[in-house]
Structure 1
Amino acid sequence: MEQRILIYAPAGQDAALAGTVFASSAIASHACHSPGDLAEQLALGAGGVLTVDEALQAGVYSVLDAYARQQPDWSDLPIILLTHAGLDSLSLRQAITTLGNLTLLERPVHILTLITSAHAMLRARQRQYQVRETQRRKDEFLASLGHELRNPLAPIKSAVALLKHMFPASEQVGKVSDVIERQVTHLTRLVDDLLDVARISSGKVLLQRKEFKLQQVLDHVSELCQPAASKRHIRITLDLPPHAVTLHADYARVVQIFANIVSNAVKFTPDGGHIHITAHQAQGQLQVVIEDNGIGIEPDAIARIFSMFEQGRTVAGEMTSGLGIGLSLARQFAELHGGSIDACSDGPGRGSRFIVTLPASASDIPAAAPAATDSASPASAHQPLQVLVVDDNRDAADTLQSLFQLEGYAAKVAYGGAQALAAVDMAWPQLVVMDLGMPGMDGYEAARQIRQRAQGRDVLLIALTGWGQGEARARTEQAGFDHHLTKPVDFATIAALLHAHLARRAGAATRAE
């Protein structure tokens, strides 16, 4: 379908003759009978379009213009337009200006000219398909890279937590553990940014909207950015509206928007500098201005700073660390929410201002109480809770098992799906924390078989994996998992989910009585 040329010439013999010429040269074509038919066939795929000038005002221009505007970045649909010799009309000039990859052939057209033009069109289209395939492979590579990087991060994070448990009074262990935790957090953010690039490129970002306060977001952003700022004695101050501002948005993505901009400001602000965040709300729109007294932005650089992989230079003139994708992701996440991000600067050495606009509303609803994150075992005084950790990465499985045991849980470990099934048949746990991508029987199949067993309905199933894409989350839900967590994860997060699960079961049992 993608190699064929779509022909739309509603009058005369142009369509039939072009089809015959193409067939003689083994070029696939399809004659469309109306602009609507052309639009439907374009959606199915096309190597290019052949049309005539008199069809422009008969609806074909609007179809081609709409397609050209919404086509993906890799696509530049080739179009051959047959015109009358010497024709110069408003509709023709409009087509030349807006349709992009347009070739004009004056009638009468020599057969050889039409054939060579068609071959050139298809060769150009084939190169576009190669770009598409390269992008697809890049996205798959980034997804696989994220998964492979997350796997070793999980046991590192668990091992650090173990060290703190084993040597709580050691100042040296505490300092080393803090360094490792900070670097693991930084590496995790880099991995997440890489995966977000792949998700956005493939249109797989789905917003998980809920209501929350602006104050919650900025507190979280301060928590993320303050360590780097404090290290260089940079002050971060806030000036917020007197009333609560409520956002109905994806909390994690909004935090990412502001954290990326503030951390960028920290990079480009000298030691002892100042970053000021001002927010105001009017007519259903929240506007947040992040202003610094850093190195500023060159006028010709403002248009580039939101480009993917664009790198800037620090105060010392060195290339910055990081991937150069933070601002690009921030703007794209803002636009997904129906908002925008703009930047301005009075020039080098005069600081920068970033203006974030998002839909919001004033609200007097009190902030939700934070979820309990007490990691102590919820077991009764008689029997500890039974936990099964399943992962083919033995370091990840063993360190997480040790963490559970130190917290008072009765934790066992299995290194594959088949082992997990054998373990639950011997003794049913209350919680199963399981990896997905295991050889032999993977986590999806193991979860399905656990749910099919008589006691499987009562088990809390948590997928703990390096795969965070939307399709992986959909598959975990279909397999019967209750939650999908990406590595590395805080132990307290798992414990909080188990607390909530047990509380729901206890409440259900009380109501049944």
Structure 2
Amino acid sequence: VPDRAGGAPARAASRARDRARDETRTATLTAGGAGLLAILGAIALVAFLTSTIRRPLSNLVEATRRLAAGDLAQRVDPGGPRELVQLDGAFNEMAEGLEEAQARLEAERVKLAVTVDSLGDALVVTDGEGVVTAANPRAAELVPMLAVGAGAHAKASPLPEVDRGLAGDVAAEVQGRSLSITAGRLPDLGDGGGVAWTIRDVSERARLERMKTDFVATASHELRSPLTSIKGFVELLERSDALGPREREFVDVVLQSTDRLLELVNDLLDVARLEAGRMEIHPRLFDVGEVIQEVSQLLGPRVGDKEQKLFLDLPPGLPKVLADPVRVRQIMTNLISNAHLYSDVGSQITVTADADRDEVELAVADDGRGMTQEDMDSVFDRFVRRNDALGGTGLGLSIVRSLAELQGGTVEVASTVGEGTVFTVRLPAEGLGSEASRRAVAGRRVLVATPRPGFGRDLLARLESRGAAGAVVDRAGVAIERLREERYHAMVLDVEGFGAEGLEMLARLRADPQLERCPLAAICSREQDERLAGEWRLRADSDADVLAGALGAAMLAERSRVLVVGRSSQRGRLESELLRLGLDHEWVTSGTAAAQACRAHRFEVALVDSGLRAVEDAVGALDLRGRRHGKGVIIFTEQGPFPGAAPAPPAPGVSATVPIEEAGEAVLAALAERPDESFHPTNG
């Protein structure tokens, strides 16, 4: 019984253990399955979420690539989470904005292209190397040589240097058209930049300007003749003792009105000549102090009428001015008259002169009303008057500036309101070249040929005062024989005195192989200047320095004549330097005129302006019959070459290309290349 009772608890304990093991196994399996299911659920969730986000992102990336490639119509369908939906919407808005902007740009491009193609002006674009990269249809009509791919400065190209084009309008003649050219520099965007050229056909405007100029000149000329007669008869009437006080007052009014009309007509004539390029300038060395004193004496009574004082400050030892004394007198008359007109009663006008390096500086100062900056900006414009009540044409200061520039000078103005105004004129002065020319006559024998014995002795005395010796003859035939038989280094020929016989004698001299290179200075009138082109020309009243300078220059150059083929705009810059160096010359403006000059005269050196529209044609037209050795053609340039462009090879027959500032020295160097020969065998 005890054994049976002890076995029951053991069996119960065993069953409890088995049941606990089963429950533990079941719990473990249940927990493992639940964990596995959780993991599988998480994996499924991640896969679902990844699929939901990745597809819209891939679509967005692909759309972005296509948009970057130029497909501006590309859009994406918004999808996925809220943030991706917002991103897709922003992308679509950006794409729409780009498409609209591209459409607007394309419309503007088409509009601009149509505008450029329909322009009445030619538009040419060149790159940094000076090669044409674009041109509108009008360019093909006006400048056919500037097609795409052509060089900006190729043969016959009318384009000026870039700096000149940037500075303002540049005139050119192409195929019978008058063109106005301007330039604008393009920004450098890594391609070297470039230049946009605008070329306008101003032929009609130029024609109308010529018509206007011709009309003004003709009308002024026709007015001046009767006005001069009226003035002359009124002056005679004024001196009549039969006039009563009232009648004399009437005559004074008529005379004043006539003077004013004559002043207006003369100003209009000067403007017409300046516009047409026909203003004659005859530069020579002269004492500017004497001219200023003449002007002060002429204007003294007028200045005194307003109780004004005119002071002259002319220091001794001023160098002589190399300019036209008639035109300098006109400049000073206009400036002093202007100071008188715009100064109050009792004011002071001061004229000073001073030497500054190779220039003489002339200043006219007043203590009048002065000018504002706006007034000074337009003071040299035509028909500008500060006070209509004071009268005047408004042309005087414009003429002053033009005359100064034509003679290689400048004019400036400085003014303060209420304190006064100063006009300063700078003109080229006597240089070392003219001094060397004057010294060249010392110890030389000169033959003076003139039908005026007293005048001949006076000429010889002037030369003797500079160290020369010689003789005087009064017949042309005798002069030729004396040159053949005796030893003379040079000759002074009084063409003015001999008249037609003097011109005939000169022609015989230049046609004689033995005497053709005789250094000669011709005394002539202004009317004879044209027939004596290529000769050293003097006026009968030339002083000893001027006479010796001209004759010495002829001897130094041994009848070396210089032909200049250039634009009229360069004449003021170059002509004064040539004269300063004692180099006489003839100036023409085209190849045709150069060919005619070469047929008429013997030139040894030619200066050719690189700014001519057909430089090669001008060089080809030259026939330097006086040149025996080496090349005698020199190209002068106003500025440097086109930026980045390679220098053009020298044309056949061209010895050098130099800046305009060095042209005179280049001529002297070219003349020095030839052997030292004399016009007469006994002078060797």
Q: What TM-score, normalized to structure 2? A: 0.39
Q: Aligned to 1:330, what secondary structure does the other structure show?
A: helix
Q: 1:251 to 1:131 in 2, by over 3 A?
A: same
User: Residue 76 of structure 1 aligns with which residue?
Assistant: 180
Instruction: Name the CA shift for 1:214/1:9 in 2 (closer, same or farther; >3 Å).
Output: closer
Contact kept, 8 Å, 1:293 with 1:350, in 2: the verdict is yes
How far apart in 2 are the matches of 1:179 and 1:241?
40
The alpha carbon displacement at 1:238 in A equals 0.7
For residues 91 and 338 of structure 1, do their structure 2 counterparts lie closer, same or farther at Cα, with a shift above 3 Å needed?
farther
Instruction: Tell me which residue corresponds to 1:355.
Output: 424
Deviation, structure 1 residue 227? 3.2
Aligned to 2:364: 290
What pairs up with 1:107-146 in 2 under 5 angstroms? Answer: 125-126=200-201, 128-146=202-220
Aligned amino acid, residue 424 of structure 2: I
Paired residue type of 1:253: R
Matching residue of 1:335 = 405
Residue 206 of structure 1 pairs with residue 280 of structure 2: yes
Q: Give the CA deviation at 1:16.
A: 13
Displacement of 1:150 after TM fit? Answer: 0.9
Q: Distance in 1 between matches of 2:355 and 2:143?
A: 57
Relative to structure 1, the CA distance from residue 287 to residue 37 in structure 2 (aligned partners, 3 Å threshold; closer, same or farther) is: closer
Aligned ranges for residues 492-503 of structure 1 at < 5 Å? none
Q: Which residue of 2 aligns with 1:246?
A: 320
Counterpart CA distance in 2 for 1:26 and 1:71 is 17
- Secondary structure of 2:416's partner? coil
Q: For the residues of structure 2 that align with 1:356 and 1:161, how far apart are their CA atoms? A: 35
Letter in 2 for 1:42: P
The CA deviation string for residues 67-116 of structure 1, in whole angstroms up to 9 with x for no partner, is 976427995337899x9xx9824743x525xx4x3xxxxxxxxxxxxxxx
Counterpart-to-counterpart distance in 2, 1:215 and 1:64 = 37
Q: TM-score normalised to the size of structure 1? A: 0.50
CA distance in 1, matches of 2:428, 2:183: 40
Q: Distance in 2 between matches of 1:67 and 1:297?
A: 27
Three-state SS of the structure 2 residue aligned to 1:211 is: strand
1:320 aligns with 2:387: no
Equivalent position of 2:234 in the other structure: 160
In the alignment, residue 251 of structure 1 is paired with which amino acid? P
The correspondence of residues 456-467 of structure 1 with structure 2, limited to 5 A, is none
Deviation at 1:280, TM superposition (A): 1.4
Structure 1: gaps spanning 5 or more residues: 44-59, 102-120, 366-455, 459-472, 479-513
Matching residue's letter, 1:239? D
CA contact (8 A) 1:343 1:354 kept: yes
Q: Using a 3 Å threshold, how does the CA distance of structure 1 residues 171 and 235 change in structure 2: closer, same or farther? A: farther
User: Which amino acid in structure 2 is aligned with residue 194 of structure 1?
Assistant: L
The separation in 1 between residues aligned to 2:412 and 2:344, in whole angstroms, is 22
Paired residue total: 315
What RMSD in Å do the two structures reach over aligned CA positions?
Answer: 4.7
* Closer, same or farther: CA 239–77 of 1 in aligned 2, 3 Å: closer
1:305 is aligned, of 371, 379, 384, to 379
- Name the structure 1 match of 2:350: 276
Query: What amino acid is the match of 1:328?
Result: S
Give yes or no for contact 1:339–1:356 (8 Å, CA) kept in 2.
yes
Higher RCO (CA < 8 A, seq sep 6+): 1
* Cα shift readout 1:317-363 (whole Å, capped 9, x = no counterpart): x543111111111112112222211111232x111111121122499
The 3 A distance-change label for structure 1 pair 67 and 307 is: closer
Q: Aligned partner of 2:266: which letter?
A: D
2:396 partner amino acid = G
Give the Cα separation in 1 of the matches to 2:356 and 2:141.
Answer: 62
Residues 39, 281 of structure 1: CA spacing in aligned structure 2 closer, same or farther, 3 A cutoff? Answer: same
Gap change, CA 1:177 and 1:39, over 3 Å in 2: farther
User: CA offset at residue 219 of structure 1?
Assistant: 2.1
Residues 286 and 159 of structure 1: CA distance in aligned 2, closer, same or farther (over 3 Å):
same
Aligned-partner SS, 1:302: helix
Q: Call closer, same or farther: CA 1:90–1:229 in 2, change over 3 Å.
A: farther
Between Structure 1 and Structure 2, whose CA radius of gyration is higher? 2
